[in-house]
Amino acid sequence: SSSETFDADGTDDTGTGNNRLVQFVADNKVLLNALLRSNQNLLEKGLKSMVKMPKCRPFLDFDVKRQWFKTQVRRLRQQANRRHGSLRLNLRRKYVFEDSFHAFNHRSAEELRGRLQITFVDEEGVDAGGLSREFFAILAKEMFNPNYALFMSTEDGCTFQPNPNSSINIDHLRYFRFVGRIVGKAVVDGFLLDAHFTRSLYKHMLGIKPTHNDMQAIDPDYYKNLQMILQHNLEDIGLELTFSTEDHSFGRSRTIDLIPNGRNIIVTEQRKEEYVNLVCQHRMTTAIEKQIKAYLEGFHDMVDSDLISIFNAKELELLISGMPDIDIDDLKRNTNYNGYRPADREIEWFWSIMFSLSRSEKAAFLQFVTGSAKVPLAGFSELQGMRGVQQFSINKVNGPQGALMSAHTCFNALDLPVYKSEEEMKEKLLYAISEGAGGFLFA
């Protein structure tokens, strides 16, 4: 055992103990994570430095971090509840975004930490969690509504980042602060948001500086051009650049210097990396600095930066939105069969079809059998049903051959009749997920 004494943050005065600790954690990663799963309190006691020391955090598994985070925010919420009681919002269903904006704006961060109680005007219903879930689902959609001009989607249309021209909406900064508070509130209350942001925005939320590689998701073509600049001699590709960039917002063009008097300073081979970094910093940070600042102000009203910084950017996305990718291998590993065996040809056909589906078809299938397109954070082993964890199951149906398949969303179960070919099964499955997803779901 070491006689060294570590400060509360896991460091010692010499720094050598610091490095030895990081090395120890790295060498014993699997064992330490297993220990922490069985006894979460260790992160508050003997293994505190695994959270406190940034260099130790990468060795903690996501589920362990998430559990620690949940424990911390639960404590803060209980304190707020005792002080301020519940956060009761009575909203007009047609104007949820506007009404919530005003309700949130008039409350302190501390008041907003209380337990959320949502009711809709002129509707009966007690909020046992369902109405709150609906509230967050509506807001997650509305924050990206082009009419508010707050966010713009990236090339693939899947992720969003602040719109540099959001000032067209006079109140835009107050809205950004509101959206930050909503995302933070969802995170601390454990509600998933169907809202995916750019990697660079997740990094800003964690206080990490984005790199030029984060440009790839925002604008792939622009990123390709930057890679070309880095990989080839500027003279060979005939590029004459200056330390400036063009802005074409609101129909007029203007030159922006990346360094003082940049428009008159030529980018040389020696300084091209600096140029690429500056131009990316402009696109991902400087051009949207006010928007990011307001959004982070709201987010940190709800979530302490010390607590959230335990995650990396990819983990933060999972924390906010759940698993966006539907991993069919994982689903297959966590499937139970009734009447069929895994080796039956119908089951082989079924998985062959599942692997061939597009991303949106997979999401539609998940909605058809579970009632939601959300994958649990820990994957399909933790799929929730009416009675707690209820893994996906496939039941053999002894009806007429070629009958329609049906689902029981309460039990995450699929009733799969016998078909004469894989083609027929696929046709029936696609029919079921497109028809069955339209409002009525089988009990």
Residue 385 has pLDDT above 80, yes or no: no
Q: Which pLDDT score is estimated for 373?
A: 60
Q: Which pLDDT score is estimated for 386?
A: 60
Residue 3 has pLDDT above 50, yes or no: no
Q: Which pLDDT score is estimated for 292?
A: 96
Q: Which pLDDT score is estimated for 49?
A: 79
Q: End-to-end distance of the chain based on CA atoms, in angstroms?
A: 59
φ/ψ of residue 89, rounded to 5: -120, 125
**Confidence grade of residue 78 (pLDDT, cut at 50, 70, 90):** confident
Q: Which pLDDT score is estimated for 10?
A: 43
Q: What is the pLDDT of residues 16-58, one digit of tens each?
A: 668 888 888 888 888 888 888 888 888 887 788 788 888 888 8
Q: Which pLDDT score is estimated for 185?
A: 94
Q: Which pLDDT score is estimated for 36?
A: 86
Asked if 279 and 215 touch (Cβ cutoff 8 Å), the reply is no
Average pLDDT rounded to a whole number, residues 386-405 = 85
* Highest-confidence segment of 117-126, 418-427, 430-439: 418-427
**Residue positions annotated with a catalytic role:** 410
Q: Which pLDDT score is estimated for 35?
A: 86
Residue 9 has pLDDT above 70, yes or no: no
7-16, 29-38, 237-246, 377-386: least confident range:
7-16
Q: Which pLDDT score is estimated for 217?
A: 67
167-181, 252-266, 373-387: least confident range:
373-387
| Cross-strand bridge partners of residue 197 | 160
Q: Give the span between the Cα atoms of 105 and 293, in whole angstroms.
A: 16
Q: What is the pLDDT of residues 100-138, one digit of tens each?
A: 999 999 998 888 988 888 888 887 776 666 788 889 989
Q: Which pLDDT score is estimated for 382?
A: 85
Q: What is the DSSP string of 193-243?
A: -S--B-HHHHHHHTT----GGGHHHH-HHHHHHHHHHHHS-TTTTT---BS
Average pLDDT rounded to a whole number, residues 245-250 = 81
Residue 100's closest CA among 186, 24, 21, 160? 186
Average pLDDT rounded to a whole number, residues 84-105 = 90
DSSP-assigned letter for residue 13? S
* CA 46 from centre of chain: 31
| The model's pTM | 0.69
Residue 234 has pLDDT above 90, yes or no: no
Q: What is the pLDDT of residues 146-180, one digit of tens each?
A: 999 999 987 655 578 999 999 898 999 999 999 99
Average pLDDT in the chain: 84
Q: What is the pLDDT of residues 320-331, one digit of tens each?
A: 987 557 899 999
Q: Which pLDDT score is estimated for 4?
A: 39
Exposed, middle or buried by CB within 10 Å (0-12, 13-18, 19+), for 194?
middle
Q: Which pLDDT score is estimated for 440?
A: 29
**Confidence grade of residue 442 (pLDDT, cut at 50, 70, 90):** very low
